[in-house]
């Protein structure tokens, strides 16, 4: 290794980052060259003026807020994703509600199911028997016919009401953030929505 190559090792020699072999070569060259020794002094002055450890500590201190800022940003960025999820869930719940309502309306307009007709026919003689105790002639009594609107009955309507309530609850829960929802809010939401969609 010539003097020029050894000269380039001086900063690393001062910093103590040379291998044993390189270090021995530099020390041998320094012993023979006043010029190299002068350069070594200059380099030592620079390193003493700017201690690497001190610089790193200052930089660490300056950069200390970056991780918190990035975490905060990533946390904030995650919120819209939750909102989108809620909106999607809300839309799905609303869709399900709409489908359910349409099916329900169609069901009301449809003729009664055969089983319901049979049930009504079974009930009819009992009604007739009951009415035979009156003075009205049996022939004048109206023929027991299943009324188209007699199905769904009260139980089905209760079921419909419960289902509507559950669906609206799900819609409210999915559409609004957790902190906006309490039992009173859900009650109010369901009340307003139920009025609007009148079952």
- DSSP SS3 for 199: coil
CB contact at 8 A, 90 and 171:
yes
- DSSP SS3 for 148: helix
Q: Alpha helix locations (H) across 64-182? A: 66-109, 114-132, 154-175
C-alpha dist (Å) from residue 161 to 29, 107, 152, 155, 168: 97, 15, 12, 10, 11
- 82 contacts other proteins (rule: CB under 8 A): no
The whole-angstrom distance between residue 2's C-alpha and the CA centroid of its chain comes to: 67
Distance CA 75, CA 81 (A): 10
Q: CA nearest 150: which of 124, 120, 172, 130?
A: 120
Distance CA 1, CA 23 (A): 12
- 123 contacts other proteins (rule: CB under 8 A): no
- 31 contacts other proteins (rule: CB under 8 A): no
**Stated length of the chain:** 199
- 159 contacts other proteins (rule: CB under 8 A): no
**Nearer of residues 52 and 155 to other proteins, judged by Cβ:** 52
Residues that bind other proteins (rule: CB under 8 A) add up to a total of: 38
**Nearer of residues 66 and 180 to other proteins, judged by Cβ:** 66
Selected from 1, 24, 28, 45, the binder of other proteins by CB under 8 A is 45
Which range in 44-52, 130-138, 166-174, 182-190 contacts other proteins by CB under 8 A? 44-52
Selected from 20, 60, 178, 179, the binder of other proteins by CB under 8 A is 60
Selected from 37, 56, 108, 122, the binder of other proteins by CB under 8 A is 56
Selected from 20, 31, 34, 50, the binder of other proteins by CB under 8 A is 50
CB contact at 8 A, 175 and 86:
yes
**Nearer of residues 65 and 150 to other proteins, judged by Cβ:** 65
- 81 contacts other proteins (rule: CB under 8 A): no
Which range in 20-28, 48-56, 155-163, 164-172 contacts other proteins by CB under 8 A? 48-56
Residues that bind other proteins (CB under 8 A): 7-12, 15, 17, 35, 38-39, 42-43, 45-47, 49-52, 54-56, 58-67, 69-71, 73-74
């Amino acid at each position: 290794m010539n003097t020029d190559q050894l000269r380039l090792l001086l900063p690393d020699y001062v910093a103590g980052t040379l291998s044993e072999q390189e270090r021995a070569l530099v020390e041998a060259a320094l012993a023979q060259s006043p010029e190299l020794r002068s350069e070594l002094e200059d380099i030592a002055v620079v390193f003493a003026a700017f201690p690497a450890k001190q610089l790193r500590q200052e930089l660490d201190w300056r950069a200390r807020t970056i991780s918190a800022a990035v975490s905060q940003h990533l946390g904030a960025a995650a919120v819209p994703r939750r909102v989108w999820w809620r909106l999607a869930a809300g839309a799905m719940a609303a869709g399900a509600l709409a489908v359910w309502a349409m099916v329900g309306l169609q069901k009301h307009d449809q003729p009664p199911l055969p089983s319901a007709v049979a049930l009504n026919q079974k009930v009819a003689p009992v009604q007739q028997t009951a009415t035979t105790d009156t003075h009205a002639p049996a022939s004048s009594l109206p023929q027991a016919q299943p009324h188209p609107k007699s199905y769904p009955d009260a139980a089905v309507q209760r079921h419909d009401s419960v289902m509507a309530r559950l669906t609206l609850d799900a819609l409210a829960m999915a559409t609004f953030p957790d902190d906006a929802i309490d039992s009173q809010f859900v009650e109010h939401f369901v009340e307003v929505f139920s009025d609007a969609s009148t079952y």
